[in-house]
Amino acid sequence: MTSLTHLACSIMAAAWLAAGNASAKEFPSRPITVVVPFAAGGPADVQARIMADRMRVTLGQPVIIENVVGGAGSVAAGKVARSANDGYTVSYGYWGTHVLNGAIYPLPYDVVQDFEPISLLGNNPLLILGRSSLPAENLQQLVQWLQANPDKALQGTSGVGSASHVAAILFQHLTGTHFQFVPYRGAAPVMQDLIAGRLDVMFDQVSSALPHVRNGELKVYAVTAKKRLASAPEVPTVEEAGLPGLQISVWHALFAPKATPGAVIAKLNAAVVDALADPVVRHRLESLGVQIPPREQQTPQALAELQKAEIQKWWPILKAANVRAE
């Protein structure tokens, strides 16, 4: 290869690098799409829209929500994994799509290798609920009642691998209890049957369950969080109720396709940080039962570490329980 050829190659490489840096520097120059793996109107969709509405202020571009349902969130995550790595299509992922699904479903993508973490958005702990006529008045009494009635109690889930299903598996493991799972298509019909007394127990997110607790339709035993909820400070944590190992958080986060430039990730992360620092956003999220992560947990590195730790925790539990896609 001649020196002239070497020079030409060097010039081309420098041009490509400059173009890439310029692209990242100019980002964003058009609307950004956040792919949400839930139907419009649900708790996660509402949270995503609250964040998107505030992130557009920092980014200077519209942030559009696209609801893509199916495959326990794998359809939405798969769409993002196959998208261009330019930051204009990102995943509103959560504990299910970016941890649990990797152990349950035969996925056409890798939940870790095919994504770049942007930021943790919030933690949604679960409430441990019982029908209003259940004799147990606290968590320890609930455990005792279940132990005294093995395989008789009915626990509703919103499907295999759902938060309500996985939480109950861990609960049984920690307490030595056994009860029957009744799968439904979604959490709403589970809630209806629990209120009607056709089910005994349920694990559900705060935003959808708390109104029924407060009007006396359900009993609540604990929240699966490290600290009490701002929206329901009267509900004890699982540690306070005597079952510290049952801390479970349905966390939500933003992920980009793999190899998205670091400068683009940094701009998206900055928009999340700004949004989570906004008092109006914080109030709206906390009213939904969301626990906002401290600033040091809002970095891409912190999200990567969280995802790794959650995989190490949950995959062995799911595999030991032989949880597989239906």
Q: Tell me the pLDDT tens digit for each residue of 25-58.
A: 699 999 999 999 988 888 889 999 999 999 999 9
CA–CA separation, 122 vs 317, rounded Å? Answer: 24
Of 214, 230, 246, which one is at a domain's C-terminal end?
Answer: 246
Domain boundary (246, 272, 300) is at 246
Residue 176: count of CB within 10 angstroms of its CB:
10
Residue 10's pLDDT band, with cuts at 50, 70 and 90, is low
Q: Are residues 262 and 306 in the same domain?
A: yes
Residue 107 sits in which domain range? Answer: 29-123+250-320
Quote the pLDDT of residue 2: 52
What pLDDT digit, counting tens, does each position of 196-212 carry?
999 999 999 888 888 99
Predicted TM-score (pTM) of the model is 0.84
**Residue 7: inside a domain:** no
Domain boundary residue, one of 199, 226, 246? 246
Residue 14 maps to a domain? no
Q: Sign of torsion, CA 312 39 261 113? A: positive
CB 49 within 8 A of CB 65: yes
| Residue 35, in any domain of the structure | yes
Q: Measure the CA angle with vertex 63, ends 61 and 66; round to 5°.
A: 150
Can you tell me the distance from the alpha carbon of 55 to that of 63, in angstroms, rounded to the nearest whole number?
Answer: 7
- pLDDT for 19 equals 46
Pair (34, 135) in one structural domain: no
Sign of CA dihedral 137, 143, 148, 152: positive
Q: Are residues 50 and 140 in the same domain?
A: no
Q: Is the residue at 141 inside a domain? A: yes
User: pLDDT over 70 for what percent of the chain?
Assistant: 92
Residue 7 has pLDDT above 80, yes or no: no
Give yes or no for residue 126 having a pLDDT over 90. Answer: yes
Mean of pLDDT values over 255-278 = 98
**pLDDT of 282-299, one tens digit each?**
999 998 889 999 999 999
Token pair for 318: 């799911």
Q: Mark whether 263 and 314 lie in a shared domain.
A: yes
β-bridge partners, 89: 33
13 pLDDT above the threshold of 90: no
Task: Looking at mean pLDDT, say which of 6-10, 80-84, 181-185 comes out highest.
Answer: 80-84
Q: Kindly state the tokens that stand for 289.
A: 């039962």
Which CATH number characterizes residue 287's domain?
3.40.190.150
CA distance linking residue 15 with residue 25, whole number of Å = 15
In terms of domains, do 189 and 219 share one? yes
Instruction: Supply the mean pLDDT for the chain.
Output: 90
What's the 3-state SS for the chain? CCHHHHHHHHHHHHHHHHHHHHHHHHCCCCCEEEEECCCCCCHHHHHHHHHHHHHHHHHCCCEEEEECCCHHHHHHHHHHHCCCCCCCEEEEEEHHHHHHHHHHCCCCCCCCCCEEEEEEEEEEEEEEEEECCCCCCCHHHHHHHHHHCCCCCEEEECCCCCHHHHHHHHHHHHHCCCCEEEECCCHHHHHHHHHCCCCCEEEEEHHHHHHHHHCCCEEEEEECCCCCCCCCCCCCECCCCCCHHHCCEEEEEEEEECCCCHHHHHHHHHHHHHHHHCHHHHHHHHCCCCECCCHHHCCHHHHHHHHHHHHHHHHHHHHHCCCCCC
**pLDDT at res. 11:** 56
Average pLDDT over residues 306-319: 94
Contact residues for 283 (Cβ-Cβ < 8 A; gap 6+):
none
Residues 174, 118 share a domain: no
**Which residues, in sequence order, are bridge partners of residue 127?**
204, 223
> What mean pLDDT comes out for the span 130-153?
96
Beta strands 115-131; 218-223: pairing state: antiparallel
Would you state the pLDDT for residue 4? 47
The confidence score (pLDDT) of residue 22 equals 47
Q: What is the pLDDT of residue 25?
A: 64
- Who wins on pLDDT, 160 or 74? 74
Whether 193 is covered by a domain: the verdict is: yes
